[in-house]
Structure 1
């Protein structure tokens, strides 16, 4: 259970946050700006590409793979952008192999000289990524690496005639936040996402694969700074959107329903942050498929009994049970333009509302992405379905017309919410690395 007194007390939060997660999240905007500057100094500003590649492959694991998913969501559609996730080595040593040493990556059989390979790593110590660079060099692929400057992966990039871009890492590695630390399992700071993503945003915009102009990247950094101010520890719970969201997610299994590629990538990041920072599960799905693929959850054992209407029952006992909650992540300004969120999803809005939909920045955005009233109807259908099964619904929406700004805004809010949920939850205590839990 979450302890709201901790959320409202900055000193309590500071004591609970011994790994300085909140400080790390607050530095995300600065990390974006510094990463872009360092990438330019490393040679990115002097790069003059001859056209765009046939395909782009982004290889990594953990936060690096999530950065690849965000990059793919931002793709302009000019060429395929594929995230390469690792497999494991088949070795007789089994679990004796260190986690990162057992990871393997492979290029598709058709990859060749017309393609670009990007390897992302916050440590640069994965032998499998080094082997992947060698594989790409043998195939004639162009290669780019984002990793610490003195790492084995950056050295491999130089040896394979690739372009190494520096990863900006904090001086101290994060301490373990779990009671049963596994020494070979990597732990990454939340801001690592932006240190890995920012340089490749500049690169892929330069080659025409992703729409991320320099002004857009700087605006995204500004959105991260704004979120750091709004979600700061000293802000009261119900004036702080991240703390408010953390309270809403206490004791629930969130169903993260997204309305497109950008919000879908944000949902994946949010689920990962909830698991890492708060020790909570979440289930991701994309609309409209979520309405059918997760209908069984809404009608299953975790859903409230639709026939239960006992006003005098002891609701304190209900709090001990895990409840479902639908969290809609979307881009359209639905709540403002359509006051009735449960209006008939199959009916068209009045003529005056249809005219209003074309006013403002969202008109151009919807025209670009081919958004139609169907998206409005699907969101209304999702709300209706949850309401019919007595499932609570919350919404996270961004009205930013720029995709990257919207992603930065939503990721910042959800990262802070996951951090507050973990820091203020009762029964959680950090144990130093290598310490065994006390016998009971």
Structure 2
């Protein structure tokens, strides 16, 4: 259990945040704008594609792979988008050059192209560290097959140079807040990749700009700039100095204390946000989470509701005394949605920067008339399943018409919540 009063102690939060995660999240909007500017300076603005690719292959790991998942969610209706994740590489006896500890992990990774990949396809290799041998080898393989190649990597890195040699387009990636990497210890995990939470946006910004240029994702750069504005707004609303009763991220963190989160999603945009939320909970809150998409998740995870995790008091009571709680683990559903049909008052609230649409705890009675009957019934059934088993359901909804803006709102809120949950637990243990 965590005491929500810990979340309002800004000094304690600062001491616990050795990785600088809160500062990194606050810089997410700036990372998007910087990424777009550098991509344009690298020649993306002058790119004249000859039609859309048959398929887009995104090879990455870590935060870059999560960015690829977002591209797959947003562009899958236009052309196939496949995220290639690494497998173990075969040992190379010819490898004789010295290896630093930071390279140990990436030297063991290998990526494989689908057998059908060829001249009609685009390979995008993305990495926050451009010295990954497996990705460099993949660029060489893709070039031999005639694939078009784009690399999102640090300027001057081995991966960026490999893209140039393969007649590809390197798009610059710039690191985020240096302090976010200083909190990693030199212990047994020091060889694992070091990424801060805003690295996700540092990769996603040029990736989406490229996809829009190719016609894989609808919209233009103005939509990405608007998404950066949404990230800035979330950073203000979810700042450490904002008290829990007026901070949606802190309120969500408190609600997730001593729970097994079930992160459900309605639609492809929300599914991408759900995957990101689960990853952030694991990395920054040491909390496992199960994801699932409506309507399949209602049957796939209903068995969880019939066991001990489904029983409990009133998990939605924000004011109950969690310090004196019995500490029993319980389920908590977080339902992420994008419903671009506005309700009365949403437009004015958005203009005033209040954006209640991403903090509403909706019930079936509040479902919008503009939604499809199928979606309305499915969401209502989810609420009923949770209510029947005394499980809390928190619905987080973005009403933004542009999917990139909606994604930014949902991910910004849940990113902050995951970090606050981890920091409160660490502060309480000191």
Q: Which residue pairs with 1:80 in the alignment?
A: 80
Paired position in structure 2 for 1:249: 256
Q: How far apart are residue 298 of structure 1 and its match?
A: 1.0
Matched, 1:225 2:237: no
**Alpha-carbon deviation of 1:45?**
1.2
> How many residues end up aligned between the 2 structures?
399
How far 1:335 moved relative to its partner? 11
Q: TM-score, normalised by structure 1?
A: 0.85
Deviations 1:327-386 (A, max 9, x none): 11111379968998346xxxxx9xxx9xx734xxxxxxxxxxxx6211011000001011
CA distance in 2 between counterparts of 1:2 and 1:284 reads 23
Residue matched to 2:369: 357
Name the residue aligned to 1:161. Answer: 167
Among 363, 368, 371, the alignment partner of 1:341 is 363
The equivalent of 2:348 in structure 1 is none
Q: Distance in 2 between matches of 1:10 and 1:277?
A: 18
Distance in 2 between residues matched to 1:341 and 1:392, nearest whole Å: 11
Residue 384 of structure 2 corresponds to residue 384 of structure 1: yes
Q: What does the per-residue CA deviation read over 1:240-299, in whole Å, with 9 as the maximum and x for residues that have no partner?
A: 001111111111011001011110110010011111111111100000000000011111
Instruction: Pick the aligned partner of 1:238 from 227, 231, 245.
Output: 245
Matched-pair contact (CA < 8 Å) for 1:2–1:426? no
Moved more, 198-207 or 420-429: 420-429
CA shift, 1:171, in A, is: 6.3
Partner of 2:134: 128
Residue in structure 1 matched with residue 210 of structure 2 by the alignment: 203
CA gap of 1:150–1:171, structure 2 versus 1, over 3 A, is farther
From the superposition, tell whether residues 234 and 171 of structure 1 become closer, same or farther in structure 2 (CA, over 3 Å): closer
- 1:273–1:285: structure 2 CA closer, same or farther, 3 Å change rule? same
**1:276 maps onto 2:283 in alignment:** yes
Give 1:179 deviation, angstroms: 9.8
Matched position secondary structure for 1:128: helix
Distance 1:206 1:305, change over 3 A: closer
Q: Which sections of structure 2, spanning at least 5 residues, go unmatched?
A: 94-100, 314-321, 345-359
**How many Å separate the matches in 1 of 2:130 and 2:216?**
25
Deviation at 1:90, TM superposition (A): 4.0
Corresponding residue of 2:49: 49
Counterpart position of 2:332: 325
- 1:8 touches 1:236 (CA, 8 Å); kept in 2? yes
Change (3 A) 1:89 1:2: same
Q: In the alignment, which residue of structure 2 is the partner of 1:363?
A: none
Q: Which of 253, 259, 266 does residue 259 from structure 1 map onto?
A: 266
CA 1:340–1:108: 2 relative to 1, 3 Å: closer
Corresponding residue of 2:104:
98
Which has the higher Rg, Structure 1 or Structure 2?
A: 1
Other-structure match for 1:65: 65
- The equivalent of 1:193 in structure 2 is 200
Distance (Å, rounded) in 2 between the aligned partners of 1:224 and 1:305: 35
**SS of residue in 2 equivalent to 1:329:** strand
SS in 1 for 2:411: helix
TM-superposed deviation, 1:429: 7.5
Contact 1:262 1:407 in 2 (8 A): yes
Across the aligned residues of Structure 1 and Structure 2, the Cα RMSD in angstroms comes to 2.8
Indicate if the aligned counterparts of 1:247 and 1:421 stay in contact, CA closer than 8 A: yes
Q: CA deviation at 1:196?
A: 0.3
Find the counterpart in structure 1 of residue 423 from structure 2.
Answer: 423
Determine the C-alpha separation between the residues in 1 that align with 2:47 and 2:423: 44
Q: Is the 8 A contact 2:361 2:394 kept in 1?
A: no
